[in-house]
Amino acid sequence: MNYQEWQFTNFHITKKIPHMKTVNSFNFAGKKALIRVDFNVPLNERFEITDDTRIKATIPTISKILADGGSVILMSHLGRPKDGPTEKYSLKHLVTPLSVVFGRPVKFADDCIGASATELSATLQSGEILLLENLRFYKEEEKGDVGFAEKLSKLGDVWVNDAFGTAHRAHASTAVIGQFFEDRICGFVMQAELDNAQKVLENSERPFTAIMGGSKISDKIMIIERLLDKVDNLIIGGGMTYTFVLAQGGKIGKSISEPDKVDLAKEILAKAAAKGVKIFMPLDNVCADDFSNNANRQIVGQGLIPDGWEGLDIGPESVKLFQGIVENSKTVLWNGPMGVFEFPNFAIGTNAIANSVVKATEENGAFSLIGGGDSASAINNAGYGDRVSYVSTGGGALLEYMEGKVLPGVAALA
């Protein structure tokens, strides 16, 4: 997808934040654009990228800047380095893949604020790309250090934030840096993320079904409560199911749960009933006698998991029930797997939901938003990334935005 194809989204965000500059509205000719991207991509033991979704997502923003006659300075984090520079987390491993993606040599500075960064950025010419070393090699990045942010700012003429996945963090490069630029610009990735979240929250077509998975109610409580004012159907799967089952007096064996959140689960069920929202939980579960792909398995009804066994996936009756709901929806939000999808024997439920989201999108004309993290991995691993409406690159950031929280990385663009 080229940048022209993204221009249709330009009006949405400017309605929400009137003074926000966007990539379409800015001419980058002769400018050095310092772009915060999210290149926190998975690497294998040979330092090869195993999923380049986040890199490809930045192509429209970078292409527009280069086409205008600007140059690009890319800054990102990779992983969670604890003690400064680490080979495993060096962004130098991305130089060759990026050069291939953008069809030109990508220069690399072996520091993000040192002499190499300063010299290479100073001599960068129109049409060239420079990648800085991992921002998190400096602890000042995550601390939101103003001095560190100011040093970064001196590398570019304008600041572009295209890292939605880190927009919920008030880090030096994602938020604090904005104060040093007159031109603070929203990148296409950031713009698309905000637009699609807004479409689901404010302009959803009914019936609207939200699918919430994952292991903990405590991680999703705020978005669940907000969604109770928006959705018609709420499907609950994954590990959080078992806390709800406890709330209803069922047996869960040794399944993951939050016993201290049982009262919270009861409150959610009561609020949903009061608001007329239909909550659907698994009718049956695939359980195992060990947390392993090769464990012994059995299918049991809801609330009937025996001692010594744990639920690791939804069962066939649950799959049928959930598929019928999803496939008849006109808006679908999916955040969190139905089970331990990393184990092939317990990925059946998650894959079935992925199939149904695609079917709802293609056959029922539904708008489908996949909420980052494990859900995005499940969709992409199944090869369905281009068969749903939008796959978010931001897990925690999307959740916080949809919860109604102000994201520092978005506020800094105003």
* Catalytic (active-site) positions: 54, 216, 373, 396
Is the N-terminal amide bond of 282 cis, ω within 30° of 0? no
Cβ neighbours of residue 68 closer than 8 Å, sequence gap 6 or more: 27, 28, 29, 31
Residues 285, 239: Cα–Cα separation, whole Å:
11
Angle ∠(59,62,64) on CA atoms, nearest 5: 105
Please name which of 34, 10, 6 lies closest in space to residue 20, comparing C-alpha atoms. 10
Angle ∠(222,259,307) on CA atoms, nearest 5: 135
Does an H or E element contain 59, and which?
A: helix 59-68
Neighbouring CB atoms inside 10 A of 329's CB total 29
Kindly list the distances between the CA atom of residue 261 and the CA atoms of 211, 245, 337, in Å, as whole numbers in the listed order: 20, 11, 20
Task: Give a three-class secondary structure readout of 336-384.
Answer: CCCCCCCCHHHCHHHHHHHHHHHHHHHHCCCEEEECCHHHHHHHHHCCC
Neighbouring CB atoms inside 10 A of 386's CB total 9
Specify which residues 271 forms β-bridges with. none
Q: Any idea which residue has 């989204």 for tokens?
A: 9
For residues 175 and 411, the answer to whether their CB atoms sit within 8 Å is: yes
